[in-house]
Amino acid sequence: MKKIAAMMALGLAMALSAPVIAHESPAKHGGIVKSAGDLSFELVNKDGKVTIHVDDHGEPVATAGATGTLTVLKGTQKSETTLSAGAGNTLVAKDDVKLEAGNKVLARVTLPGKPAVSVRYAIK
């Protein structure tokens, strides 16, 4: 009887924790979404241009005054460019960036009045 009660308690705990695990929101712009803090960062790479869209629980976060860096690791090679505020809720890479499968990307973003956050992406 104790074994059944323990299994039921474990099953209930797992069921209740599922929404916590599924925190990342779906991609709105065809990119890769990762969360850091309470914010979601969607990395979009189109025609060599990298844009990061910032949302807070699905609502756009204004990026005016935001700064950052984008670091791309390609095997043993490392390249870096700056991120600056774009229109609305976007950050835009200063330089053209070619992302390929296997690359690792680190975005370090500082929004006005907030501590810097680091967001890691793996390009598939």
DSSP single-letter state for residue 95: S
Q: What residues pair up with 43 in beta bridges, in sequence order?
A: 32, 52
Domain harbouring 59, CATH code: 2.60.40
Percent of the residues in the chain that have a pLDDT greater than 90, as a whole number = 71
Is residue 57 one of the residues assigned to a domain? yes
Q: Does a structural domain hold residue 13?
A: no
Between the CA of residue 120 and those of 13, 21, 35, 116, what are the distances in Å? 29, 17, 9, 13
- Assess whether pLDDT exceeds 50 at residue 20: no
According to DSSP, residue 46 is labeled E
113: containing domain: 24-122
Q: How confident is the model at residue 81 (pLDDT cuts 50, 70, 90)?
A: very high
Burial class (CB in 10 A: 0-12, 13-18, 19+), 92: middle
pLDDT of residue 11 exceeding 70: no
Using a 10 angstrom Cβ sphere, with 0-12 exposed, 13-18 middle and 19 or more buried, the burial of residue 28 is middle
Does the residue 116 lie in any domain? yes
Count: domains in the chain: 1
- The Cα angle at residue 66 between residues 84 and 80, in degrees rounded to 5: 45
What confidence tier does 37 reach under pLDDT thresholds 50, 70, 90? confident
Residue 18 located in a structural domain? no
